[in-house]
Amino acid sequence: RELPHRIHEYRWWNLIDIAELYMKLKWPAEKDPDMILRFGNEVWKYHRVMNGKYVARALRVLAYLETSDRRTFRSLIRRIPHHIINLSPTLLAQTITAAAIVGHNPTKMYCRVRGSVLYQRLCRRLSRRVHEVGPHDLAQAVSSLMMVGSRQEYFFEQIVLCIMDDPLRFHLQQLAAFARAFKTLNFVPSVDILSLFADKTQLRGCSIDALATVAALGLGDLQNAALDILTSGVNHNIHPNREGRYDDDDASSAAAIKECSCDDIMLILRGVRNNEEQADRVRVAFERYWLPLHYDTITAEEFSWLIWDMASITSSLNNTTKNIPTSGIIDDDDDVNVTTHTRTTVVKDNSKAD
């Protein structure tokens, strides 16, 4: 009870230690919002005198507690390179994650220094000791680099070597995070990291994002197993009614694909183009379960890309278009499927009928 009234009397190292207790206990901000706010204000008072690893620890705890302001974050980030030699491998990885959470953009200039310099120095230092970092912290760091668009090739190569040395050390959830980040940042690893993993039982413990990544980037039985989980309860033999809609049934509640984000869906659609076994099932799941639920939340550009990806799947299912007569007149009753090789932007009509 006395802590909120005495917190200003603590020195900066005690202040960070107390704030980390809130972080480790996962103390909700709703229970003590004033105390969380005090941490951010007190760190600003001591940010110039902090040294050693406490600068990075302060950034980590403030990013997790979602307190303080941009001025404090920039001041801490500016001082981290001066104390980088004192950071442990785990703290280096967590600092990368914290910098991405607070919005440190690698393409912007901060105090005449480009933002990418911080990520380069942290990744270069961490690359020498990748094996000493836990799989979860390593996956979080790579996902954070993907979030800000920072491509650190040498760091990624060391991660791939670490996975090749001991693939069983990593959970499929973490391997999927690596694979997705590499794909997004256009980094081609020397080996397909998902192909090193054969334990399909871990799919049940993966998140929706990880399942979507495995379904799009996985190979063989692992990809089919992930697609089976996402499209469970989907009957691809049913057809839409005369109005172009599917009738609701009890199976719709079992389709996990409804929880996927738009990025997940686009990744899946592009990954199953050559999988004739699952492409039709994914198409039905998208049209029947996902699109009606998320139609009002996606942008016109996302809708256009989704339609283009669906057209690619339909083209791959048909393999070739139906024979079109080279001469004569095509009757209106003829069912002709014509595909083109130019991308057409589909305009999404957001207006609702009265």
Owner of token pair 């738009």: 262
Q: What is the pLDDT of residue 6?
A: 62
Q: Where are the domains of the chain?
A: 199-320+343-354
Provide the 3-class DSSP secondary structure of residue 110.
strand
pLDDT of residue 318: 66
Contact 269, 237 (CB under 8 A): no
Strands 113-114 and 109-110: antiparallel
pLDDT the model gives residue 252:
45
Distance in angstroms (rounded) separating the CA atoms of residues 50 and 54? 6
pLDDT value, residue 339 = 37
Q: Read out DSSP for 16-78?
A: HHHHHHHHHTT--TTT-HHHHHHHHHHHHHHTTT--TTHHHHHHHHHHHHT-S-HHHHHHHHH
> Pseudo-torsion of CA 352, 302, 144, 31, nearest 10°?
10
pLDDT in the model for residue 96: 96
Could you give the C-alpha distances from 309 to 8, 100, 140, 174, 220, in angstroms and in order? 57, 30, 29, 27, 21
- Main-chain phi, psi angles of 128, to 5 degrees: -75, -20
Residue 346 is predicted with a pLDDT of 45
Count Cβ neighbours within 10 Å for each residue of 93-127 and write b for 16 or more, e otherwise: bbbbbbbbbbebebeeeeeeeebbebbbebbebbb
CA 221 vs CA 200, 209, 295: distances in Å: 8, 19, 31
Give the closest residue to 340 by CA, choosing from 306, 308, 317: 308
Q: The pTM is what? A: 0.79
Query: 301 exposed, middle or buried (CB, 10 Å; 0-12, 13-18, 19+)?
Result: exposed
Q: Name the burial class of residue 230, with classes exposed (0-12), middle (13-18) and buried (19+) by CB atoms within 10 angstroms of its CB.
A: buried
Tokens encoding 36: 């969380």
- Tell which phi-psi region holds residue 260, choosing left (phi > 0), alpha (psi between -120 and 50) or beta: beta
CA within 13 Å, CB half, 212: 20
User: Token match 């911080």: residue?
Assistant: 118
- Which of 39, 93, 89 is CA-nearest to residue 69? 39
pLDDT in tens, the chain (354 residues): 566 656 666 677 778 888 888 888 777 666 777 788 888 888 888 878 888 899 999 999 999 988 888 888 988 999 999 999 999 999 999 999 999 999 999 988 887 778 899 999 999 999 999 999 999 999 999 999 999 999 999 999 999 999 999 888 999 999 999 999 999 999 999 888 988 876 788 888 888 899 999 989 888 888 888 888 888 766 554 444 444 444 444 444 446 888 889 999 899 888 888 777 788 888 888 888 888 888 888 999 998 988 888 888 777 666 533 443 443 433 444 443 433 333 434 445 554 444
Cβ–Cβ under 8 Å, residues 38 and 45: no
**No. of H helices and E strands in the chain?**
16, 2
Looking at residue 95, its pLDDT comes to 95
